[in-house]
Amino acid sequence: MPLPFDLAEATRYLSSKDEKLATLIAETAQFRTDTDAAQSPYEALMESIAYQSISGRAAATIFGRVKALASHGRPPTPEQMLKLRTPQLRKAGLSHAKILAMKDLAAKTISGVVPTREQAEKLSDDELVERLVSVRGIGAWTVEMFLIFNLGRPDVLPIHDLGVKKGWSVTYGKKHMPKPKELLAFGEQWRPYRTIASWYMWRAFERAGYKVTNKILPAKVRKRLAAAKAAKAAKSAKPKSKPRKPPRRKPQ
């Protein structure tokens, strides 16, 4: 599916605004997202629920079993999902919480809270966030990923995403992870292409590797660890008092 914005213009704009980001863009792969125009918001969010809190391989297996329950190669329709019994879904590998989330997603799709693909493309990012976070088990981060990877929206900044935050720290030579407000304020210079900038923060995180990024911690944690280290150093540097020798007895 073609991007709904001009990528060349976006990268030129970001490079002109941010020297460090310009270097990152020049040194890494070209931005791309594999958006699926045939996947409805309902299907995309159902898949997101299946993938929550477990490994990708396990989630793919479980989601494959869920799709098999519909026998047409795609996830169960909202109507089918509401009719599926809990034991069937549990046998497929879904947790109780994920079953409740998928059934709520199905109900809100039927009621119109979760829009169709055509409707979603006409709604603003804020309108979609407001609607979709009302679904059980769907948070702001999940909706942001949907906006980026399903709809191809150009101006999404996932301020709570660990990879984006640590990628920012690597790119701008920071030893701490930014607070969400700090990242949000910094990202203003990237408008209206914050999605593309975020994508390159992910690339910076991947390129640095875990050996480097595991040392990047929130500012509060860094300060606490530094204070503990300083206290330990001060304690070890303090001279220890020598034990007093007992007085010598005079011979009688």
CB 199 within 8 A of CB 25: no
Residue 128 is encoded by which pair of tokens?
A: 């979609």
Q: Is 166 exposed, middle or buried (0-12, 13-18, 19+ CB in 10 A)?
A: buried
What phi-psi label fits residue 54: left (phi over 0), alpha (psi between -120 and 50 degrees) or beta? beta
Q: How many Å apart are CA 20 and CA 164, to the nearest integer? A: 15
CB 160 within 8 A of CB 180: yes
Q: How many Å apart are CA 166 and CA 155, to the nearest integer? A: 19
Residue 161 is among the residues annotated as catalytic for this protein: yes
Q: How many Å apart are CA 182 and CA 219, to the nearest integer? A: 12
Count of Cβ atoms closer than 10 Å to residue 180 Cβ: 14
Query: One of 18, 104, 155, 161 is an active-site residue; which one?
Result: 161
Count of Cβ atoms closer than 10 Å to residue 128 Cβ: 22
CA 23 to chain centre: 24
Q: Which of 77, 78, 47 is nearest to 60 (CA)?
A: 47
Catalytic machinery residues: 161
